[in-house]
Structure formats: structure tokens, C-alpha cells
Amino acid sequence: MGLFDTVRCEYRLPNPAHQDLEFQTKDLDCLLDHYVITLDGRLIRLASEFRRLERDIEWPYHGDIQIYAADPQRKDEFVDYTVRFTHGRVEWIWGRRPIPRRADTRRCFISTGFARAPGRSVRERAESRTQPGRVASG
């Protein structure tokens, strides 16, 4: 899976059952840092002895962060949220539909955090269109 950062969200989430979850993200530094989204919507990187960070630092993030965690109500699914930061403050948090867990988790998420659509892969669809004697279908 690679490295990631951990995010706790004190800011109100769309689903209260997910409020106490520890989320992961690959949209920050991916250095195993711990972050908190505060009640007032600030992103704080927490102090770390391991990284020799002596104090908490407000992170002036501008953009979207995908956060995800195992769903406590459905053990076979992930919960996934997009958090939009504008000038260092949460603008909105959008809950996305649950994503089924699979044994091969690399197939559950791509860099944007969307679930891979079921069915044939992009390569399989492209190969079927280029096979001799086959008529390409739209």
C-alpha cells in the first residue's frame, strides 16, 4: 500500500457514526504524520518525536484531500470523504458512497480516491477493440 498520513476529524462529518474514526490519506506528505481537522476547520500537523517536530503546526492547505477508513458498521467496506480546504479552512466535506473491500486493496482506490469500476479493465477493453476480425463497439 505504501506510506500515508493519518487524519482525525473533529470537524462535523456528514455521518456522525464516522466521527471517531482514524482516517488515512495519501494527499498530504505521506510521511506517516498525524493530522487533525479541528472543530473550526483548520488542518493541524501534530508534533512528532519520530520526525523531530517539536510542536503542532497549522497547515495552510488549499485544495481537496481524500480521507478514508474501514467502515465500523460494515466491516467489508470503506468510508471515503473528500474534504475541500480553501485558504487553510474547511469549505465543505462531501461523503462518498461506500467502497467494497477486496483482498487486493490496490484495486479499491486510485490516486483520486474513486473506486475502480467493476467489470473489465481498461486494458481488456482496449485489447478487445483492436483484435482482428472484431467489430469495435462504442
Q: How far apart are CA 111 and CA 125, in angstroms?
A: 21
Task: Answer yes or no: is pLDDT of 57 > 90.
Answer: no
Q: How far apart are CA 92 and CA 103, in angstroms?
A: 32
> DSSP readout, 40-94?
TSBEEEPPBTTTTB-S-EE----EEEEEEEE-SS-TTEEEEEEEEEETTEEEEEE
Task: Answer yes or no: is pLDDT of 7 > 80.
Answer: yes
Question: Which DSSP state fits 16?
Answer: G
pLDDT for position 26: 93
Greatest mean pLDDT among 4-18, 99-113, 116-130 = 4-18
pLDDT for position 2: 79
pLDDT for position 32: 86
Mean pLDDT of all residues belonging to the chain? 76
Q: Which residue has the cell 493519518?
A: 6
pLDDT digits (tens, 9 = 90+) for 99-116: 555 544 443 433 333 333
Task: Answer yes or no: is pLDDT of 74 > 50.
Answer: yes
Where do the domains of the chain lie?
A: 5-106
Task: Answer yes or no: is pLDDT of 9 > 60.
Answer: yes
pLDDT for position 36: 95
